[in-house]
Structure 1
Amino acid sequence: MSDIDPTLRPAWCSFQSTDEPPAGTAAHEQSWVLLEVPGRWGRDIFDGEALGADLSQRLEQHVAACGSRMLFIRRPGREGQQLDRHRFYLCDTRPGRRSIRTGRVDGPADMLGLDLTPGAHVAGTREVAAPVPLVCTHAKRDQCCAVRGRPVAAGLEALVGGRLAALDTDAAVWECSHTGGHRFAPVLLLPGTGYTYGPAETAEAARIVEAELDGRVVTDNLRGRSTWPPVGQVAEVAVRDSGVDAGIDDLVVVLDPVDPGVAVVHHTDGRAWRVEAGTRPLPPRSQSCRKPPTDASAWVVETLTPL
């Protein structure tokens, strides 16, 4: 658990949302592009503070046109402030296609010449053979991510960094920019699979990474797999929580084309489940430490039926 006393931080969004079920709250992205950018980030990574206005605008448009989402990353501690070339990762989360490829560029502007489309082969990159765990520490976005995330990033590096590096020299723990959902800080994202967790304190984060190394999925505080939209995330978590034995890529979610609250989860062994989900109201709370309390809701599973 965190060593921060909640009674001393009553206004922090992550302490206001301890009653909120996490399933269905992960960002919906099938492809993550990670770019090493040391130093300070603005409130938005494309607001011009880190890269300048012109490059930020062009890079934002390029990433969006490729159907991906970019995060800035840096290594925990002083190591994250120094580099000769910028490392980048191209992360495809789709079951059966998922991969993490890495390469290096002389500067962020070089990313404009790369095809960042999910699954695209980019010359000069290679596949990474181990996870690349991310912990959100984006201070200008929300204080919860910064104050609660940085110790987790450092602690996770101490616990699993050596094992990751032994498997692949480019596998490492990184601090990252805003992923969404600071109220679940500390937020852990495994961009090679899309599985997103929160809150994930240091010991829990290490257990989650160790499970991914073994091909397993931890469901405690699982917000969802970013590959799927919210209903799909809820459906997959529900099936996993029901006791179904399933590895990372054993479950594929298909959304109902007519009913937006229904998804069918298919197992590679031939089984399938129909999941109906909806929302229920929660007491008002701040979605961010910078915002006043507003109405809130949470996803709930209404039915889970084997097919």
Structure 2
Amino acid sequence: MTPPERFLCSDAARLRGDSFVGTAPHGSVWVLIEYRGAWPANGFDGLRLAPEAKEVVFTAAQAARARVLLVKRHGRATREGPAHWAVLRYESSGAHRQQWGTWRCDEDLAEIVEALGAPGELGCPPVVLVCTHGRHDTCCAVRGRPVVRALSERWPNLVWECTHVGGDRFAANVVIAPDGVYYGNLDADSSVATVEEHLTDRIHAAHLRGYTDLFPPQQAAVAAALRRFGPAGRHDYAVTGTSRDRDCWRIHITGRPPHPMALDVEVRASRTPPHQLTCRGPMTSSAIAYDVTSMRIG
């Protein structure tokens, strides 16, 4: 008897043509904790740390609305020395900030609390995060590992593997922080090309899921501008107005030359038919898709 084929949510999403536009989770602060052992399915929440140390980090991260991710370097399981932690913060001005530290024992992680309340340093290079969290979703490992290998060979000091970032069916997923830019549906070749362009401040629409400082309809509007007028810098477009009428949003965008100075974009939301959206569970659910119905140069 032939065994049934293994279901992979990213394969199914590609076959359906699922849109990943407007799917970047909202947020502007990240806490990274280097953990070289096996990652639990629920990431930081599942780590066996001293309860007091874990609680103080969790509480501070919640208060700052920060996302906590476990990270590790690709192919460096035997790396010696203390592990690292970081607090990365996005600022709309473009002055992105970072603060790094090290930890040897659980109690050292309390330093993250102080870092969450500090402004952080300017001028640090961005961090490239690749989700390879196979215990959370098979596709994250199957598609993420070739991508992190390719990126690590090119930028060994910038790239980290990380736990779940959302959107398993869009694996491989790459997050560049504190820039707050999500990319999806990547493979080894496209990831190198995408990150290379990003590091020169040229963001393309092809694999862009969205900017984390924007809400989904706003993300979709900016992605549409990039598709129509070509790549742009992270701060070349700004959302300066948003109104909603039921399932329709009107987004006003201002741009820097040589991009259009003003755009009015209409975005409509709709529910997709129910499908199995992750590898882990057989339950079906629908997703929200965002479609640009009109764009006018103002």
TM-score (norm 2): 0.86
1:66-98 per-position Cα deviation (integer Å, ceiling 9, x unaligned): 232221110011x14534223233323333234
Which residue type is aligned with residue 146 of structure 2?
A: P
Which residue type is aligned with residue 114 of structure 1?
A: E
Which residue type is aligned with residue 182 of structure 2?
A: T
Which residue among 137, 145, 170 is the counterpart of 1:142? 137
Matches within 5 A, 1:241-252: 241-244=227-230, 246-252=232-238
Deviation at 1:136, TM superposition (A): 0.1
Is residue 72–residue 176 contact of structure 1 (8 Å, CA) maintained in 2? Answer: yes
For the residues of structure 2 that align with 1:72 and 1:148, how far apart are their CA atoms? 18
**Structure 1 residue 264 and structure 2 residue 264: aligned?**
no
Moved more, 208-217 or 46-55: 46-55
Deviation at 1:277, TM superposition (A): 1.1
Matches within 5 A, 1:157-196: 157-161=152-156, 171-196=157-182
Is residue 102–residue 127 contact of structure 1 (8 Å, CA) maintained in 2? Answer: no
Which residue type is aligned with residue 300 of structure 1?
A: D
Which residue type is aligned with residue 295 of structure 2?
A: L
The residue number in structure 2 matching 1:224 is: 210
Name the SS for the 2:155 alignment partner.
Answer: helix
Is residue 271–residue 287 contact of structure 2 (8 Å, CA) maintained in 1? Answer: yes
Deviation at 1:236, TM superposition (A): 0.7
Deviation at 1:39, TM superposition (A): 1.0
1:267-299 per-position Cα deviation (integer Å, ceiling 9, x unaligned): 134711121212234332222111222223421
Name the SS for the 1:46 alignment partner.
Answer: helix
Name the SS for the 1:264 alignment partner.
Answer: strand
Gaps of 5+ in 1: 1-7, 162-170
Deviation at 1:110, TM superposition (A): 2.9
Quick one: structure 1 residues 229 and 54, their matched pair in 2 at CA, closer, same or farther if it must change by over 3 Å? same
Which residue among 17, 20, 24 is the counterpart of 2:13? 17
Quick one: structure 1 residues 212 and 196, their matched pair in 2 at CA, closer, same or farther if it must change by over 3 Å? same
Which residue type is aligned with residue 11 of structure 2?
A: F
1:115-149 per-position Cα deviation (integer Å, ceiling 9, x unaligned): 315xx424xx5641x33211101122111101221
**Structure 1 residue 70 and structure 2 residue 68: aligned?**
yes
Identity of aligned residues (%): 28
Deviation at 1:232, TM superposition (A): 1.2
Quick one: structure 1 residues 99 and 50, their matched pair in 2 at CA, closer, same or farther if it must change by over 3 Å? farther
Number of aligned residues: 285
